[in-house]
Structure 1
């Protein structure tokens, strides 16, 4: 039986107060934040830390819950899926991205610059939340 898939992602600030945005193979050319599926027995914070490291080579600290979103059969996603997206804010001490095979391109951007990128709608709400909170 198909069930919703729990995923985590993080909007991460690096040195210079810029956030990392990535274009991945899974969002039909749209940009988002690094993240992925939560493994059985894994906490959300452990999952976001692991996924961020796997996709970018970066270690994150100061992980803080941001919001939860639901993507039900989103046409933006590469296949029909019901995703429960748990988003976090975090920091990293490095700007050196070592991308895995899922990342096509990446950019360090201010929050205002981030909104000029072709973001998926779920990442756009996360960036807008960060702006409202004055992060």
Structure 2
């Protein structure tokens, strides 16, 4: 019997304050953030650190929970799936990417420009949350 799959992803800030966006093989040409499935016995934060290491070569720090979303049979995803997506915010100390086969293209962009990319729906929601959080931390909410 099919069951929902738990996956993690993160919006990551580089050392100069830009965020990492990536176009992968799994979202039909749309941009998103690196991430993937949680392994049995693995914590969510360990999973997001591992996925980033595997997909980009980056080491994450300051990993903090952002939100949880669902993608139930999303037409944006490359195959029928019910995904429970646990999103994080994180930092890294380099812009040097070593992409694996899933990453087709990537860009470090100012957060304010991220929503201008053709993002998948779940990443758009994560970027909007980051923009709102950033405005709130500056007293602009």
Determine if the TM-score, normalized by the shorter chain, exceeds 0.5: yes
Whose Rg is larger?
2
- What per-residue deviation string (whole Å, max 9, x for no partner) do you get for residues 36-61 of structure 1? 00000000000000001100000000
3-state SS of 1:78 partner: coil
TM-score calculated relative to the size of structure 2:
0.95
Which residue in 2 is equivalent to 1:102?
102
Could you tell me how far apart the structure 2 residues matched to 1:111 and 1:61 are?
18
3-state SS of 1:39 partner: coil
- What per-residue deviation string (whole Å, max 9, x for no partner) do you get for residues 48-96 of structure 1? 0000110000000000000000000000000000000000000000000
Could you list the runs of 5+ residues in structure 1 that have no partner in the other structure?
none
3-state SS of 2:124 partner: helix
Could you tell me how far apart the structure 2 residues matched to 1:11 and 1:75 are?
22
- What per-residue deviation string (whole Å, max 9, x for no partner) do you get for residues 73-124 of structure 1? 0000000000000000000000000000000000000112111100001000
Could you tell me how far apart the structure 1 residues matched to 2:84 and 2:52 are?
17
TM-score calculated relative to the size of structure 1:
0.99
Structure 1's consecutive aligned runs of 4 or more residues displaced over 6 angstroms after TM superposition are: none
Taking the TM superposition and a 5 Å limit, the aligned residue runs for 1:1-135 are 1-134=1-134
Could you tell me how far apart the structure 2 residues matched to 1:72 and 1:88 are?
20
Could you list the runs of 5+ residues in structure 2 that have no partner in the other structure?
none
Question: What is the number of equivalent residue pairs in this alignment?
Answer: 135
What's the RMSD between the two structures over aligned residues?
0.7
Could you tell me how far apart the structure 2 residues matched to 1:27 and 1:112 are?
22
Could you tell me how far apart the structure 2 residues matched to 1:64 and 1:121 are?
21
3-state SS of 1:95 partner: coil
